[in-house]
Each structure stands twice: as C-alpha cells, then as structure tokens.
Amino acid sequence: MRRAAAILFCCCAAVAAFFRYQIADGFTRLFSDSYDGMLELALLDHWDNVLRGFSPWSEPLFFFPNKGVLGYNDGYLLYGLIYSLFRAFAIDPLLSGELVNLAVRAIGFLSGYAAARRILELPMTLSLLAATLFTVSNGAYVAMDHAQMLSVGFAPLLALPLHRAFRALIEGDRRGLAIGGSLFLLGCAAWLMTAFYAAWFFLLLVLAFSIAWLALAPAAERRRMQVALPREAPVLALLAGLAVLVDLPFLSLYLPKAVETGMRSYHEVSTFLPTPLDLVNVGDSNLLWGRAYGAFRRFIGAPTPAWLTLASGLPPATLSLFLAAAVWLWRSREPDARLRRLRALMAATLATWALVLQIGTVSAYPLIYYLVPGAKAIRVVVRYQLLLAVPVIGLGCAFLASRFGKAPVVLLAAVSAVLVAEQFNHLAVRQIDRPAQLARLGAVPPPPAGCGAFYVARTAQEAQGLADAVYRHSVDAMLLAELNHLPTVNGVDSFAPPGYDLYRPGEPSYRDRVRLYAERNNVHALCGLDMRSNRWQLPDQTEGLQP
C-alpha cells in the first residue's frame, strides 16, 4: 500500500510540475498556439463525433467534400478517445484537450516506472527517478506546441508487452508470446493512427535494438533464437496475420495519401536534422543551463535557432550520466542477460542517434530515408531526440543503480536533484487563451437550416502576416465544423488536397476561388460565415456561390 501511495504521489507531483502554469492560473492559458493547437482540437472533436455516430472515422468535416482527409495529418485516435471521456462529462472542448495532455503525461510516468522496474530491473527509488525525469523532460515541455509528441510516453508502455513477448519466445512460452505480441501489435496500430512521428521513431529504435541484440548476443543465445523461431512458427504466423489486420485502417488511409502528396523531399527533411549543437540544445530558458547554452551559442557564432522545436536536446547532467553508462556497459564483461539487453539498447541508441545527426552538410540519414519504410513521411527528424529521452534516462539510471550500493544516500539525492532541476524550462508555449477562445467560438450562432456546408467569408480581424492568412480562418472553420456537425470547404493541414487554395481570405480573389472550388467539387447549399459580425450568409446571399 505504501509503495502504491509513493508511486501515485510522485506521478501527481511530476505531472503537476509539467502543468504548473496551467494549475496556477486555473487552466486559463493552455499549451500550444491558436494555429496548431486549435487544429489539433478539431481533430480531437472529430473522434468525439465518430463515437457519437456523426462522422465516418476517416472523414473529418473539413476540406469538404474530399475523402480520407484524416490522412493529411496525425490521426489522434488515442488522444481523441481520451478527449471523448472528458467531453462526456460536459467539460468544454479546450479544457478537455488540455486534460488529454495531462492524462498522456500520467500514462508516460506510470508506464515509465513499470518499464524501469520490469525491463531495466531498477530499484523502486531509481525507477521513480527515471519516470519523473521522463515526465518533466525539458524537450517534451518545449515541444508542447505540438502536443502529439507527448505520445513518446507510449514507448515504455509498449516496451512492456514487447519485452514479455521476446522473453516468451526464447523460453518457449507460447501463451506469453501470443499475449505479449498481440498487445504490442494492437498498441502499435493505435499509436500509428494517433501520432505517426512518435510511433515511427519508436519502431526505428526497436529495429535497431533487435539488430544490436543479435550482433552482441553470445553464440549460445543466438542458437536459442534459431531454435525458437521455427518452434514458435504457428504463433508467429498468427501474430503476422494480426499485424496486417490491425494495421489495415492505417494503411488504407495513409498509403493513398502518401502517393498523392509524395511525402517529404530529402532537401526539406535535411533542414530539420539535428546538428551536434542540438544534442545539448535545451533552449535559452532552461532553468540551469539556458544562459550558459545561449552564451556558448553566441561565443561560437551559431545563429539563434529559427524553430523552437529544435530545443529537444538532453540537459548536460542527464547526457553525462548516459555517457557514463555507455562506458560502464562497454567495459562490463559480466555474462548477464540484463546487461546484454542494456548493451543492445545502448548500441541502438547511439547508432540511430549518429545516423540522424548532420555535421555541416554531411549526414548518414539518407540510409534511413531511402531504406526504412515510412521515413519519407518524417520531416522534423530532430524530434527523434524526444523519443531518445526514454533510453537515455533509463540507461543513466541503470548506471546509477550499478553504483547505488557504493554511493552515499546524500550524494545520490544531490545528483537526483540536479537531474530533475535541469529539466525545468521557463518557456511556456501557452498561447491559447481559453476564456477568450470559448467566448469567440460561443459568439457564433448555430448554422441556419438549409446549409449543406460552409466557408469563412470574413475573418474576425485582418490577417497579420502570411501564416495568419493561411491558418486563422482555416482552423476556425475546422473547429466550428466539428462542433456544429456541418462540413466546411476550408481547412489546413500538413498536406492539402491537390490544387486546394482557399487561403488568404482578405484577398479580392478569395470569393472567386471559393466559387470555383464549389463548382468543381459539386458543393451545393454553401453558406458563408462572417466571423467579424458573427452572421451566417445563406446560399442565396453569397453572391452566386451556390452552383
């Protein structure tokens, strides 16, 4: 009972620390911004509509009448299911979206603790430390303009059934193999449909770990694997069939869109490969290292990063502990199965980290980009460091455990305090004003009868720059479409339908572009929404827009 209470207390404390500003202001200002954050909210509300029977699962109510538009971005499946639970209790959409983030962080803590105990075999205190460090991670906090990256917290959750399946395969435990393998495959399918980036990063690390384990395992261990594979062929065949079955929705949605969009060019991807400086890029607002990092960057003449998401590096003490663990594992020659797993995880972490790194214009990432399926869909490769926080922290704590009996408790407590403190960052990406957004959305009256679809005829205020002209009316239309169960021709996403250009509503050509779009796509009863006056324009009031 006391152990459960300690785990719950540490979980609540870590999650509260991550959401400290929201808790302090009563969830008035929320993570992300009014572009990406509101776009995510529209996708979350889509899943609520799916569960209520208003929408097909692959058809959000934007980019109407194009099909399969969920495939232009992450699917947010698991996030949407959690969101629907909060919405069922009549919690407003914006607060529900933030509570999803809170729930995902809590899942990350609890699964991180369980993985540290069962897979890394750490003592309870260091398992709690590992879970806490991962939960309050500096990189994850800075990346909260894209909250789907919090799903890296599913990595330790899926590592648990994978570990069970792996051990069961070696030991001839068919039941354990079937259960562990099935749970892993189901979890991967749901994760892929939620946040492709994070899931793909995890699978890349799993692939690298498998290769490293085979390369580092002694001959006797490899022979056991050679015997186990044909022996368990029936179960493995069933698992292969299950993998195809559970991934069919994902493949049917995203493969056509991959062909349609062409995914990402290598030139585009290379802009977001991490550089050596990004390995320790914790941002200028990091509590312990921000000023030092900024001063060092200026000293070497490095420009200020244009993208906040580049601040995904590991804090110096955490990284130093990881490097100490690498030396410890390299020198260790103990014939221990646990240490072999740790060495394989270390090798996989270092190898994949090196492969995504870019020094000047030189990188080995083309080996991944051209050879690993799905790699061409990944643009911001530097976010891989958010996933690498899992093995980096875990292996660092394993090193501490190897010295636990020799180190004084006071010294261990001091080290833990530094490790936790260096994760904190003053920069809070909280640009969503919840009361203001709720008031703004609430001021829009329900659409009148006779509207088959709508477009934003005029924005609430003049666009401030190109990004505003592309995003503002688009995300407003997307969220209002989901909340009112009325499709909109507007939309914005990672990709868009071929030839789509309903951006820049302030330009004189906008209304003509909407009219041509409606004609080409056979959109009837198209209403306009003037968000400056909060008035709807019926089809016969939209200057001939109805075909």
**pLDDT tens digits along 182-203:** 999 999 999 999 999 999 999 9
Give the pLDDT of residue 306.
Answer: 54
CA 458, 463, 467, 469 dihedral sign is positive
Distance CA 459, CA 468 (A): 10
Q: What is the mean pLDDT of residues 18-45?
A: 94
Is 80 exceeded by the pLDDT of residue 104? yes
437-458, pLDDT tens digit by residue? 999 999 999 999 889 999 999 9
Give the pLDDT of residue 546.
Answer: 41
CA dist list (Å): 452 to 108, 320, 481? 42, 60, 11
Distance CA 213, CA 337 (A): 11
Would you tell me how many other CB atoms lie within 10 Å of the CB of residue 3?
8
Would you tell me how many other CB atoms lie within 10 Å of the CB of residue 127?
24
Give the pLDDT of residue 539.
Answer: 80
Lowest-pLDDT range, 182-191, 392-401, 506-515, 534-543?
534-543
Lowest-pLDDT range, 223-227, 308-312, 380-384?
308-312
Burial of 215 per CB tally in 10 Å (0-12, 13-18, 19+): exposed
Give the pLDDT of residue 540.
Answer: 60
Give the pLDDT of residue 343.
Answer: 95
Lowest-pLDDT range, 73-77, 298-302, 342-346, 480-484?
298-302
Give the pLDDT of residue 544.
Answer: 43
Lowest-pLDDT range, 126-135, 227-236, 407-416?
407-416
Distance CA 166, CA 248 (A): 24
Would you tell me how many other CB atoms lie within 10 Å of the CB of residue 480?
22
CA dist list (Å): 26 to 21, 22, 29, 102, 432? 8, 6, 8, 14, 13
Tokens of 443: 């001021």
Give 527's strand partners: 454
- Range list of β-strands (E), 431-473: 432-433, 453-458
DSSP codes of every residue in 379-439:
--GGGHHHHHHHHHHHHHHHHHHHTTTTS-HHHHHHHHHHHHHTT-BS---B-EEHHHHHH
Give the pLDDT of residue 305.
Answer: 65
Q: What is the mean pLDDT of residues 480-493?
A: 96
Q: What is the mean pLDDT of residues 231-246?
A: 95
Give the pLDDT of residue 323.
Answer: 96
Q: What is the mean pLDDT of residues 313-321?
A: 95
135-152, pLDDT tens digit by residue? 999 999 999 988 999 999
Distance CA 263, CA 259 (A): 8
Give the pLDDT of residue 545.
Answer: 46
Q: Are strands 526-530 and 453-458 parallel, antiparallel or unpaired?
A: parallel
Mean pLDDT of the chain: 92
Long-range CB contact pairs, 4-7, < 8 A, 24+: 6/124, 6/128, 7/110, 7/113, 7/128
CA dist list (Å): 148 to 210, 302, 352, 425, 466? 26, 29, 22, 19, 25
- Name the DSSP letter for residue 272: T
Lowest-pLDDT range, 127-131, 299-303, 366-370, 539-543?
539-543
Residue linked to tokens 């991967």: 188
Residues 345 and 262: beta-carbon distance below 8 Å: no
Would you tell me how many other CB atoms lie within 10 Å of the CB of residue 290?
20
Q: What is the mean pLDDT of residues 464-468?
A: 82
Give 430's strand partners: 32
Burial of 442 per CB tally in 10 Å (0-12, 13-18, 19+): exposed
399-442, pLDDT tens digit by residue? 999 887 666 778 888 999 999 999 999 887 899 999 999 999 99
50-80, pLDDT tens digit by residue? 999 999 999 999 999 999 999 999 999 999 9
Distance CA 431, CA 446 (A): 27
Distance CA 462, CA 212 (A): 55
Give the pLDDT of residue 547.
Answer: 36
Per cent of the chain over pLDDT 70 is 97
Residues 535 and 512: beta-carbon distance below 8 Å: no
Q: How confident is the model at residue 461 (pLDDT cuts 50, 70, 90)?
A: confident
Give the pLDDT of residue 478.
Answer: 96
Burial of 413 per CB tally in 10 Å (0-12, 13-18, 19+): exposed
Burial of 315 per CB tally in 10 Å (0-12, 13-18, 19+): buried
CA 145, 203, 205, 418 dihedral sign is positive
Cis peptide bond prior to 315, omega within 30° of 0: no
Distance CA 419, CA 405 (A): 19
The candidate with the shortest Cα–Cα distance to 395, out of 316, 341, 356, is 341
Burial profile 357-383: b = 16 or more Cβ within 10 angstroms, e = fewer:
bbeeeebebeebbeeeebbbbbbbbbb
- Name the DSSP letter for residue 112: H
Q: What is the mean pLDDT of residues 40-57?
A: 96
Instruction: Provide the phi-psi class of 32: left if phi over 0, else alpha when psi is between -120 and 50, else beta.
Output: left
Question: Crossing angle of helices 154-171/93-118, nearest 10°?
Answer: 30
Is 60 exceeded by the pLDDT of residue 543? no
Give the pLDDT of residue 468.
Answer: 85
Distance CA 156, CA 485 (A): 37
Give the pLDDT of residue 177.
Answer: 95
- Range list of β-strands (E), 432-534: 432-433, 453-458, 526-530
